[in-house]
Amino acid sequence: MFICNAWELMLKAHMIKSMGEKSVYYGDNPNRTKTLENCIKLIFTNDKDPLRLNLEKIIELRNTSTHYFKTNTISINKSTATVKGQQITKSPKNKSSVREIAIPEFITA
């Protein structure tokens, strides 16, 4: 989670330096700053950029792990593989691989 906070602050600092202070705020709501996802899309415009892809994966992991603590379950619904040197995320090969696992109470308490 902290890695996401660090990247968000670094990207916003870069945006302020290169595009001005208003660049980190939503145009329709000057009291709300842009999300990390929005900052990434603005700065890393190539959606195939390895750094952008890695940051997006870290954000996905952050969002998923935060969800675990709210529901006390872990959802297994993705599979990763390396294909021709590229890391990919896909649906599992069979339906039995998709499952919910309860997190023991002593871990979440």
Name the pTM for this structure.
0.63
pLDDT digits over 55-95, tens only?
Answer: 999 998 888 776 656 677 777 888 888 888 888 888 888 88
Determine the pLDDT at residue 94: 83
Range of the domain at 93: 2-108
Q: What is the pLDDT of residues 19-55, one digit of tens each?
A: 999 999 999 998 999 999 999 999 999 999 999 999 9
Cα separations in angstroms, 65 against 28, 41, 74, 76, 103: 31, 22, 8, 12, 12
Residue 83 three-state SS: strand
- Number of compact structural domains in the chain: 1
* DSSP calls for 42-61: HH---TT-HHHHHHHHHHHH
For the record, the structure tokens of 90 come out as 């896909």
Q: What is the pLDDT of residue 68?
A: 59
Q: Can you give the pLDDT at residue 69?
A: 62
